Structure 1
Amino acid sequence: MSYPGGLLRLFLEPALSEGRQVTPSEAQDHYLRHVMRAKEGDAVRLFNGRDGEWRARIEAMTRRAICLRVEDRLRPQRQEPDLWLLCAPIKRTGIDFIVEKAAELGASRIKPVFTARTIVTRVNHQRLLAHAIEAAEQSERLTVPVIDPAVTLSAALQQWDPTRRLIFCDEGGGAPEIGAALRAASPQPAAILSGPEGGFTPAERELLHGKTYVLPVTLGPRILRADTAALAALALWQSICGDWYEPLR
């Protein structure tokens, strides 16, 4: 919820427009009162992923609720890159870290996928969503990525829309380097698939290589940790195909 060097930013679900009253969630209420020591008259910035970013002011604070009055729009809503991340959950806090950093890097949807070598058997969806919201608040983006329920890799592929390219981070060898592959590929909606600790099994690699919408790539000559690989691929896609890229003038 905090924002370095400027007004506090909060993500709220309600519609935002000039003069509208909105109420922060219970967690945001607690944060405003007890962490930020906010008081009536303080300004905050609000966004909901649809209406842009707005300045609001704390109009009233009672024991039961905080009332925010929306004042003026600071930034219009803009289109963001349509990039998904499919990643195998990794042990301890690894999946939390991946979701947080993927949100900062601009992923629009994050789908945890269970593979044959995935060690983690459960994913806390609400905790991942909370990490995504906090990362969006801190990184200045105007949307929060969708966090899908975890599914098996086979289920994800069965439901796949073939018009979306699936960029498969294939550590098994023989795939083109990701930068060259992305530059040569035609523009279309994309997703990145990153594997678990221990990598994909031969059967999974064979399954993926058999899909026409899958683009196998390598991330270079070194073996990367699972979390490093996912984030490196996101950063490379953003720099070549996404909103980090600016054509030479």
Structure 2
Amino acid sequence: MSTIPRLFVKSDLALGAPLALTSEQANYLFRVLRLAKDDSVRVFNGRDGEWRAVVTEAMRSAGFLRLEELIHPQKLMGDLQLLFAPLKKTCTDFVVEKATELGVTMIQPVITKRTQSSTVRVSRLEKIVEEAAEQTERLDLPLVQDAKQLLEVLGKWDSDRRLVFCDEAGDDPAQDWGGNEGRAKPMLEAISELEDGLAAILIGPEGGFSPEERKYLRQQSYVVPVTLGPRILRAETAAVSALTLWQAARGDWR
């Protein structure tokens, strides 16, 4: 891994083009990292690959780079989406950060009956995504969507995209966690049986899905119910576990 600092930028990137830094980026490069004129910086924008640039002007709260060399051409990523019920602030931040590290291409917060928080600041989550992409050598950024009601999202669902539904309940509401009847297959087994194609993973809130939500999901032809094992995981742990299993079995870890 290169030790040259790496920044996400929004500008178009082309050989020889000048690039203005934001005050936050200038502060990071020139006050924190102590870079100076003619030092190298790596930049990417999610569209034009990764470039090596050099510092042409370094000021306390501003600066300019010049694009010198294309290091890595833009690559197509796999198409894996994450739907999750927003959690408390730090837990939501954790899920978004780890989803970015694990190669998710779209993040959709969904509001369920038992969702803890319906407030999602997309601008803050986009900043978390940018920082995680900078650190993990991604050439792209996942799209962060505004929070929507789960049934609204499913009402517009593309049935060609499999929805891996992390379903830890059984069918008997009179027993703890629904008893043993109606339990889903272990995730690794279930996803190994799928054909290649578009996919998304759905993680519910702490407390799980309501019986009505679970019934609706189970009735959809595109839904693949799975379990993540004998223990009830925290929602943020479930998200990381499910994404890890997918990338190992069906994704870009192979």
User: Counterpart of 1:51?
Assistant: 48
CA distance in 2, matches of 1:25, 1:195: 37
CA distance in 1, matches of 2:23, 2:148: 30
Q: TM-score, normalised by structure 2?
A: 0.92
CA distance in 1, matches of 2:236, 2:152: 22
Alignment of 1:1-249 (within 5 A): 6-62=3-59, 65-173=62-170, 174-245=183-254
Counterpart code for 1:204: E
Sequence identity percentage: 49
Alignment check: 8 A CA contact 2:160 2:198 kept: yes
Counterpart code for 1:77: Q
Q: How far off is 1:25 after superposition?
A: 2.5
Alignment check: 8 A CA contact 2:52 2:68 kept: yes
Secondary structure of the structure 1 residue equivalent to 2:54? strand
Runs of 4+ in structure 1 off by over 6 angstroms are none
Q: How far off is 1:77 after superposition?
A: 1.2
Q: TM-score, normalised by structure 1?
A: 0.93
CA distance in 1, matches of 2:124, 2:31: 21
Q: How far off is 1:6 after superposition?
A: 0.7
CA distance in 2, matches of 1:96, 1:24: 26
Q: How far off is 1:161 after superposition?
A: 1.3
CA distance in 2, matches of 1:19, 1:85: 38
CA distance in 1, matches of 2:189, 2:32: 47
Secondary structure of the structure 2 residue equivalent to 1:142? coil
Secondary structure of the structure 2 residue equivalent to 1:163? coil
Counterpart code for 1:197: E
Alignment check: 8 A CA contact 2:186 2:228 kept: yes
Q: How far off is 1:39 after superposition?
A: 1.3
Counterpart code for 1:81: G
Secondary structure of the structure 2 residue equivalent to 1:110? strand
Q: How far off is 1:240 after superposition?
A: 0.9
Counterpart code for 2:224: L
Q: How far off is 1:101 after superposition?
A: 0.7
Structure 2: tracts of 5 or more residues without a match: 171-182
Alignment check: 8 A CA contact 2:26 2:61 kept: no
User: Counterpart of 2:173?
Assistant: none
CA distance in 1, matches of 2:192, 2:22: 43
Q: How far off is 1:92 after superposition?
A: 3.5
Q: How far off is 1:216 after superposition?
A: 0.6
User: Which shows bigger deviation, 128-137 or 38-47?
Assistant: 38-47
Query: For residues 178 and 19 of structure 1, do their structure 2 counterparts lie closer, same or farther at Cα, with a shift above 3 Å needed?
Result: same
Alignment check: 8 A CA contact 2:26 2:60 kept: no
Q: How far off is 1:84 after superposition?
A: 0.5
Q: State how many pairs are aligned.
A: 242
Counterpart code for 2:84: C
Q: How far off is 1:195 after superposition?
A: 0.6
Structure 1: tracts of 5 or more residues without a match: none
Query: For residues 34 and 64 of structure 1, do their structure 2 counterparts lie closer, same or farther at Cα, with a shift above 3 Å needed?
Result: closer
Q: How far off is 1:78 after superposition?
A: 1.2
